[in-house]
Chain A
């Protein structure tokens, strides 16, 4: 994802003749699309196995809560990206930190949901629920780790104006994780 930051590229590829950014952007979008298909398969399986019914009562307050937290973290991620693009490193870092904390809060929320779940993985809804939230949480956790790396690097002044692709790409990944949840939330909690 942070493909561009590897200096080995400069000498390879067309380097100076055309910019790497559009190429990287296309690559990361294709990655998102491909990953989205995996999530789509899981969501489709959920409907295949249990129809459009919701066999268990879920903790709606918790669901709405973690959904709001994740949605809000997209805003902070957006603000961080915009700030870095305009050289406002201090604000950018603060917003990154907020994103990281909210991401962690989301993961903890999912973990809590798992601990209070009164269904088991071998139950048909449990099958869908645990594999979907588990797969998504794996992406959230890896996203948080990536964001921490970006946060630390930003502190060392690695992302001056015009060289913020690493921030942009990680923030895009974060939004992607949010988009997946945009579909998973109604699929698991509301239908």
Chain B
């Protein structure tokens, strides 16, 4: 099974998704760092950082941890 059932196309597609997600995550992290450096402190910074962290969490939950499989076991990512 291990070698013969190897569905190369599907695997490549899934791995591609991972690369896209990590790219967005990296950008978001850099954005976080950049706004922290530029704004310094205050409620605006806290709000923006919260938004960025929630966005990152959503990406990881959705694509890396396959949250949708909870209610849709066969589908999702």
| Interface contact A186-B49, CB-CB below 8 Å | yes
Main secondary structure of the interface of A (DSSP, over half): helix
| Interface contact B57-A179, CB-CB below 8 Å | yes
Is A112 an interface residue when CB atoms closer than 8 A count as contact?
no
Chain B nearest CB from A158 CB (Å) reads: 12
Cα distance A51–B29 when bound, in Å?
A: 23
Of B2, B7, B22, B41, which one neighbours A74 at CB under 8 angstroms? B22
Which residues in A have their C-beta under 8 angstroms from that of B19?
Answer: 75
Whether A175 contacts B22 in the complex (CB less than 8 A), given A26-B70, A186-B36, comes out as: no
Chain A nearest CB from B36 CB (Å) reads: 4
| Interface contact A175-B64, CB-CB below 8 Å | yes
**Residues 34-71 of B at the A interface (beta carbon under 8 Å):** 36, 41-43, 45-46, 49, 52-53, 56-57, 60-61, 63-67, 69-70
Which residues in B have their C-beta under 8 angstroms from that of A87?
Answer: 1-3, 5-6
Is A190 an interface residue when CB atoms closer than 8 A count as contact?
yes
Which residues in A have their C-beta under 8 angstroms from that of B64?
Answer: 74, 77-78, 175
| Interface contact B2-A161, CB-CB below 8 Å | yes
* Total chain A interface residues with beta-carbon distance under 8 A: 43
Is A182 an interface residue when CB atoms closer than 8 A count as contact?
yes
Main secondary structure of the interface of B (DSSP, over half): helix
Which residues in B have their C-beta under 8 angstroms from that of A162?
Answer: 1
Cα distance A70–B23 when bound, in Å?
A: 14
Whether A160 contacts B73 in the complex (CB less than 8 A), given A52-B43, A88-B11, A191-B45, comes out as: no
| Interface contact B22-A182, CB-CB below 8 Å | no
Per-residue CB proximity of A59-73 to B under 8 Å, as 1/0? 010001001100110
* Pairs A–B under 8 Å by Cβ, sample size 18: A22-B73, A29-B70, A68-B29, A71-B22, A72-B22, A74-B22, A74-B60, A75-B19, A79-B15, A79-B18, A82-B14, A86-B7, A87-B1, A88-B11, A175-B60, A182-B53, A182-B60, A186-B49
Ranked 3 nearest A-B pairs via Cβ: A190-B36, A86-B11, A186-B49
Point out residues on A near B: beta carbons under 8 Å: 19, 21-22, 25-26, 29, 52-54, 60, 64, 67-68, 71-72, 74-75, 77-79, 82-83, 85-89, 157, 160-162, 172, 175-176, 178-179, 182-183, 185-186, 189-191
